[in-house]
Structure 1
Amino acid sequence: MSRPQRSPMHWPAFPDIPIYLDTGNERVTAKTYGTTPTTPTTPEILIQGRLTHLSPAHINAPPVSPVEPSPTTTIETSRHRSVIWPIPEPPPEIVKQQQSRRPLLRFLPSERPRLRLDGLSKTIPEQFSGEKAEVKPGSMLGFGLGIRNGPPKPPSIRIQPPPAENEKTGSAPNIAIRIEEKLWRWSSSGNIIERWMLEIVSWLISAICMGAIIAVLVVLRDKSVTKWPFNDIGFTLNAFVSILSRIAGAALLLPVAEALGQLKWSWFIKGDSKKMWDFEMFDNASRGPWGAFLLLIHTRGKTVAALGALVTIFCLALDPFFQQVVSFPERWTLQNTTSSIPRVVRYEPQYPVEFVNGEQQTVYDQDIVAIADTFFLGNGTQLMPFGNGTRADIPLSCPTSRCTWPAYETLGMCSQCVETSQLLTFACMFTRVDWASDLNTTVSSYPNATVCGHFFNATSEEPVLMSGYMVDNDGNPVGETLLMRTLPLLTNPLREPLWGGSINFKDVRNPLVDVLISSTINRSQVYANETPVVHECVLSWCVQTIESSYLLGTYSENVTATFTNDTNTESPWHTEFDPSDGGTWIDYLENVTIGAPSTGQNFSEFGWGVNNLTMVNTIMVFDRMFPAFTTVADATSGSLLRWRTGSQTDVRTRQLGFNPWLLPNNITHHMERLVGAVSNAIRSSSSNEMIYGQVFDKETYVSVRWEWLSLPIGLLLVSFIFLLATVVKSATELDQVSIRKNSAIATLLYGLPDHYQKRLANSDSKRTPRAKAKELKVKLSPTRGWRVSGNVFSPVTPAIPRNLPPPGWI
């Protein structure tokens, strides 16, 4: 029989697509095929009754005679085969196939063949479409070529040749594709730097961001927040640190994740087989801290991957640590302006000249008397609330809410008090009564009476009652009771010392007043013959060293040193009685000059102190209160203060709502408040001069706590070491595993064998594939892919392959 003609259809155009048709449906037995040098023999299991599709190019081709087979193909079949189809021999240019069950796919960038599935009829059999097909009477559905119920026109695959160069193949790749292609070329490069270019750049970005944060903080450390140049546009320093820290953290995780992905492949190359579960653990470790924590526990920290896991875990704390690096507290900052505060070197105010009946009179110092009277007759001046604090009693100037001045020296008034109650003696004697409130005559006309109480100098010719009461002939109390008495140790107006003058302060030169102050609580204490409290107090000019400050509306000062004259001289007083009018001429013969503490020596008359006129006018202010008396008439009456006793004709008394000279008031503290207020008054006078100090204002500044940078910098260094170790390790294993990192394509290409995939997927419902993966051990072979070790699944007898075509044949 002659050989049939070849079909003039598509077969010659695509000779590399051979066709094999098996129509047998009987019991399958093992068979072998004779092969040509270009056709390997590959066993395969063919499901009985499997449909076979032919290319439309061979549907109408004439059958090949069974007597004349192909000269290059020998087929040995079973006796049950009904028909033996000759298989045309492939043309000589066909490429010899490799002996592998799965043919390799080859992608040629320059040639892009297109595939299309054609030929499906709109009316499809029910077993394919799920719908009932229409069948006309007298006709039958079939696939043709002896296949029952086949479609009249089976589908076919068209392979179109690559388009011409000038043919439009679609839109150009976008920027993402171009970047991926660039990165893929770098990963495939022979240069080790290019293979890890993305990871190196990412690590450098993290280092640059951290370096930028550190550089900015070094510049702005301990400086005002206003030095930050972007405050005007609303971009704060805190936002700058937050943004760069987020970028640094994200950029730091990328090289760590890629390095963990590369170590994932290396894990299965070296050593014994590893559990397939490890693949997922490495993959999860490159995705987040939880997977990294599990990998760290699994590897027990003994592998290079443990460094990457640690970095991934501790990167969670990057943002909190960066936020703790910078704080913005407030502090007082020196301003470019000055403050001022008054002080006095010499107190020499201008006094008005006053005449009475043509004779010049001595006048009071009005600045001092206005302050002193409030302490004589009450509790003195009180601090005035001002803003958040109290107003200063001196005219200081502070442009802001805080000012300080250097320690300065100023003239002031000082007081000293010593308790001398032991000098009193209780007695009852007939003596002169000079303390009654209704006395309005001269001293020579004071009455005499029997009095009981505590006397000063009771044994002298002129004892002085300090606290007591009058009694009748039967010894019963009568009349007024003396509660308080102030007794100067210098007489007025002759200015003669009383009993030798001062008791405890003989070294104080130029005293303003040296007085004994006796005080009791009430009338009952006097009648109980309780000893009153007696203080000797002295007031004098002094030079004080003061540290002053003003803060939030409150002025405060601290007297650190006090200097007074302590040289004894003759009395500077000169008095002369004028018999013409009964008056007394008074002169103070010296100016008060105090050696400055800074020099330790006396100044001239222009040094610290006052002139003699100021001295006299100030002493006259204290004569208003010293001497003075406080008496009470009976148990129902209030106390009555008799003061300004220097007048020979006038008697002045006053009822006080608060008497500061009676117990339990603190006499010493009251005198200190008195002289402090007087010192402020003279500093507020026209004799003052200003000294200048510093001005501070609150501002927010940048405080840097460098210790909080230890974690970010430590993670940066550890990630560099980890990346370097991974680069070196991958370079040594380049011949065994290429640079794959976290490539999903590499994971798809290097899959498990098919029968293991099916067994894993079809595992018992109570045990998921993940559970099987914990038992299955695999190893990655550089040449043969994944190799499975161990017998995890039950042994299954392999099915006998039947009707197996050669690889690459349809």
Structure 2
Amino acid sequence: MSVHSGASDAEAGLSETNDTTVHTQDPQPDTKARRRWLEWNDTWAWEIGSVTLAVVGIALLVAFLVTINNTPYANWQYTASPNTIVSIIVTITKAALLVPVSSCLGQLKWNLFQDPAPLYHMQAIDQASRGPWGSMEILLGGLFGSRTGILTYVGAMLTILALAVDPFAQQILTIPSRTVPALNATAFTQTSQNWWYSDQSDVHLELPPTLLTAIISGLMQTHRPLEPKCNALSCDFPEFIAMGMCSKCEDVTARTDQKCQVEEDTSFWDSDRGPIHPALEKIPTNCSYQTPSNFSFEFPHPQSMSIGPYYGIKSEDWRKNDNVTMYPNHWSLRPRANVPILDIQAPIVSLVEVDYLNPIHYIVSNATAPPTKPSVTECAIYFCERQYAASTYQATTQNNSPAHVASTQELIVKNHEEEQPDILSEQIFYFNPPKGSKTLSKDSTYSMDHLTFNSFRPFMMTLFNSTTNINRFDPPLSDTLKLASFLRRGDISEILESMSTSVTDTLRKNGNGTKVHGKAFRDERFIQVRWPWIILPVVVTLGSLALLLGTAVRSKQRGAVLWKCMVLPLLSSRLETTPGDKIASVRSADGMTAESKNMRAVVVRDEGPLTFKEKL
């Protein structure tokens, strides 16, 4: 049984009639057919042109990306965005490279049948040349043992990968922000190594008003740190050094000597609750203390006490006067002049804070034990140089921390033992570090006018001389601002540090200061190329070029006609099948597919019609 096409009888008769017909028309000249510019279907010219266009497109894309990479987005002055340009180039490139891929798949189905192959492969490869679904069938068929050739698999893979080219192209460019130097921006902070206050008419032999304000605002912890001048997004400042004030505090309770003895006058033990237990009269309440800096103070007896039960005593012992609770109720801050303390050789003032507010409980069993020590803190306030670490200031941040002080060094007046007491003197005092120490900066000269220098100590001696006896009507010893209630409720170390920072900031911004210039920065959006995302377009383009070369070489070797994706050769062909084959009578797609998978065919090489012959 064979399915074939032949000349009909009518055609034969027509042929005979034509042989006897006399032509009356003038014979046409026998000219050689000329190839027109569109007649290149039997060559690879169109495919070569398309793949060349794709390669040029990739080259243009790479050149474009290299040109705009890391450039400010503000410099892009065109209507179309860079992403749009990339999308246009990639779209043209993708369209161009799909032409050779489709043609190669179409030609590979003809190459395949130069040797016997399942007839279904003609349908499968032709379907792959038309889109991703057919290409997916080819790849899945290869996984399940259907052999259509490596070039066919490459073409199917390129067709599928081409779907992802556009999404990958959208990821090539990103527009992040970066920090760049801000030209013509202001970036400086202030520092000073000298303080000369020339206008003495408004101070009345006291500290200048600006320093008085700095001291009080610092003690009240309302001082606003000195901020750099920065009109950019952020500014970086180098390390710098300034003259200023420093403070140092240390808890010396454990190192404070305590000596206590029994109070000889026992009249203060009298109580309305009845006689006290005799053992409690031996409590050593009369105590004296000496700090590591040789400051001495005494507590001859408690300010108040209660005899009888206190919190924690069992209810049945409430009627017994065998326990005592003492309330010292004492806080004081004692300033001293010219007293070295805490390794500070020449402080402006040295301070001793005595905090004795906690009650003391006594019972019969511990009646002879000395009372607990008061909390004792020693502090020094002194002139110093402050070394500020390099820092970054964010102008847009509300909670910028002040410049960090990396190190300090005490400063003392040259020949300070010859200090002039005349407060009206116009002499300038110069500072040096103590013997055996070096300044933090090289070739630095620190100075202060005589009036300001000699006004600091008497003012602070008066300011910090404060003693408070809680629950008594005695007024504080300090008449200056009544600071006792404020100071005793805070951490004295933090309060003095706040005051020192406030005074230092005032010294830094005086008219004799200098500017420490920094670097200003701003944020700018820039074009950044993410090169890994260009790999897929490049791979698909190069793969298309390789597929075209491989298909052209393979077609030349097999001597196959370049039919490519044409269906007309199939319309003019015939299929010779073995007897009993039912493919010619099948009228369903599934049935045709099943029959074609079980039939192997080969293209017959002869001068007659294009023939597919079944091979068993």
TM-score by length of 1: 0.59
Q: Which residue identity is paired with 2:232?
A: T
SS of residue matched to 1:701: strand
Shift of 1:563: 3.1
Q: Does 1:253 align with 2:98?
A: yes
Query: What residue number does 1:381 align with?
Result: 222
C-alpha distance in structure 1 between counterparts of 2:373 and 2:52, whole Å: 90
Q: Which residue identity is paired with 2:65?
A: L
C-alpha distance in structure 2 between counterparts of 1:729 and 1:613, whole Å: 103
Query: What residue number does 1:353 align with?
Result: 201
Q: Does 1:538 align with 2:352?
A: no
Verify the 8 A CA contact 1:220 1:227 in the aligned structure 2: no
Q: Does 1:718 align with 2:543?
A: yes
SS of residue matched to 2:61: helix
Query: What residue number does 2:163 align with?
Result: 316
SS of residue matched to 1:394: coil
Q: Does 1:93 align with 2:19?
A: yes
Query: What residue number does 2:600 align with?
Result: 777
C-alpha distance in structure 1 between counterparts of 2:440 and 2:359, whole Å: 52
SS of residue matched to 1:373: helix
Q: Which residue identity is paired with 1:698?
A: D
Query: What residue number does 1:519 align with?
Result: 355
Shift of 1:90: 4.1
Query: What residue number does 1:558 align with?
Result: 404
Verify the 8 A CA contact 2:304 2:328 in the aligned structure 1: no
Q: Does 1:688 align with 2:614?
A: no
Verify the 8 A CA contact 2:577 2:613 in the aligned structure 1: no
Q: Does 1:425 align with 2:222?
A: no
Shift of 1:237: 1.1
- Which has more radius of gyration? 1
Shift of 1:94: 5.3
Query: What residue number does 2:226 align with?
Result: 394
Q: Which residue identity is paired with 1:254?
A: V
Instruction: Give the unaligned 5+ runs of structure 1.
Output: 1-41, 47-53, 55-72, 74-86, 96-110, 112-160, 165-179, 189-194, 356-360, 384-392, 432-449, 491-496, 577-584, 646-651, 792-810
Distance 1:753 1:660, change over 3 A: farther
Bigger shift: 366-375 or 332-341?
A: 366-375
Query: Which of 65, 70, 83 lines up with 1:238 in the alignment?
Result: 83
Q: Using CA pairs under 8 Å that are at least 6 residues apart, name the structure with larger relative contact order, 1 or 2.
A: 2
Q: Does 1:197 align with 2:45?
A: yes
Verify the 8 A CA contact 1:400 1:696 in the aligned structure 2: yes
Distance 1:719 1:616, change over 3 A: same
C-alpha distance in structure 2 between counterparts of 1:364 and 1:633, whole Å: 35
Verify the 8 A CA contact 1:466 1:482 in the aligned structure 2: no
Query: What residue number does 1:676 align with?
Result: 501
C-alpha distance in structure 1 between counterparts of 2:300 and 2:57, whole Å: 86
User: What is the root-mean-square deviation in Å for CA atoms of aligned residues?
Assistant: 4.5
Query: Which of 267, 273, 278 lines up with 2:121 in the alignment?
Result: 278
Query: What residue number does 1:728 align with?
Result: 553
Q: Does 1:307 align with 2:154?
A: yes
Verify the 8 A CA contact 1:452 1:471 in the aligned structure 2: no
Shift of 1:219: 2.1
Q: How does 1:324-343 map to 2 (within 5 A)?
A: 324-338=171-185, 339-343=187-191
Query: Which of 276, 290, 293 lines up with 2:133 in the alignment?
Result: 290
SS of residue matched to 2:498: helix
Verify the 8 A CA contact 2:65 2:529 in the aligned structure 1: yes
Distance 1:460 1:213, change over 3 A: closer
Verify the 8 A CA contact 1:343 1:691 in the aligned structure 2: yes
Query: Which of 610, 615, 636 lines up with 2:453 in the alignment?
Result: 615
Shift of 1:451: 11
Verify the 8 A CA contact 2:47 2:103 in the aligned structure 1: yes
Query: What residue number does 2:62 align with?
Result: 214
Q: Does 1:643 align with 2:485?
A: no
Q: Does 1:224 align with 2:72?
A: yes
More helix as a share of residues: 2
Verify the 8 A CA contact 1:543 1:562 in the aligned structure 2: yes
Query: What residue number does 2:315 align with?
Result: none
Verify the 8 A CA contact 1:268 1:274 in the aligned structure 2: yes
Shift of 1:778: 1.8
1:410-429, Cα deviation, whole Å (9 max, x unpaired): 22222222221121426368
Verify the 8 A CA contact 2:70 2:527 in the aligned structure 1: yes
Verify the 8 A CA contact 2:237 2:391 in the aligned structure 1: yes
TM-score by length of 2: 0.76
Shift of 1:589: 8.3
C-alpha distance in structure 2 between counterparts of 1:367 and 1:429, whole Å: 52
Verify the 8 A CA contact 1:778 1:786 in the aligned structure 2: no
Bigger shift: 543-552 or 565-574?
A: 565-574
Shift of 1:700: 0.7
C-alpha distance in structure 2 between counterparts of 1:733 and 1:298, whole Å: 24
Instruction: Give the unaligned 5+ runs of structure 2.
Output: 1-5, 29-34, 265-282, 309-322, 363-369
Shift of 1:779: 1.4
Verify the 8 A CA contact 1:349 1:685 in the aligned structure 2: no
C-alpha distance in structure 2 between counterparts of 1:219 and 1:750, whole Å: 55
C-alpha distance in structure 2 between counterparts of 1:467 and 1:710, whole Å: 90
Q: Which residue identity is paired with 1:298?
A: G
Q: Which residue identity is paired with 1:340?
A: F
Query: What residue number does 2:471 align with?
Result: 633
Q: Which residue identity is paired with 1:221?
A: N
SS of residue matched to 1:187: coil
Q: Which residue identity is paired with 2:99?
A: L
Q: Which residue identity is paired with 2:593?
A: R
Q: Which residue identity is paired with 2:94?
A: G
Shift of 1:753: 6.0
Query: What residue number does 2:270 align with?
Result: none
Query: Which of 346, 349, 372 lines up with 2:215 in the alignment?
Result: 372
C-alpha distance in structure 2 between counterparts of 1:467 and 1:410, whole Å: 47
Distance 1:229 1:211, change over 3 A: farther
1:57-105, Cα deviation, whole Å (9 max, x unpaired): xxxxxxxxxxxxxxxx9xxxxxxxxxxxxx999468359xxxxxxxxxx
Verify the 8 A CA contact 1:224 1:700 in the aligned structure 2: yes
C-alpha distance in structure 1 between counterparts of 2:430 and 2:166, whole Å: 72
Query: What residue number does 1:742 align with?
Result: 565
Distance 1:660 1:780, change over 3 A: farther
C-alpha distance in structure 2 between counterparts of 1:732 and 1:458, whole Å: 107
Name the % identity.
20
Distance 1:747 1:571, change over 3 A: farther
Distance 1:748 1:462, change over 3 A: closer
Q: Does 1:186 align with 2:186?
A: no
C-alpha distance in structure 1 between counterparts of 2:301 and 2:361, whole Å: 6
Distance 1:755 1:586, change over 3 A: same
Q: How many residues align?
A: 547
C-alpha distance in structure 2 between counterparts of 1:468 and 1:746, whole Å: 125
Distance 1:479 1:402, change over 3 A: same
Query: What residue number does 1:80 align with?
Result: none
C-alpha distance in structure 1 between counterparts of 2:212 and 2:462, whole Å: 9
Q: Which residue identity is paired with 1:296?
A: L
SS of residue matched to 2:171: helix
C-alpha distance in structure 2 between counterparts of 1:341 and 1:314, whole Å: 58
Shift of 1:344: 1.1
Shift of 1:697: 1.3
C-alpha distance in structure 1 between counterparts of 2:439 and 2:36, whole Å: 88
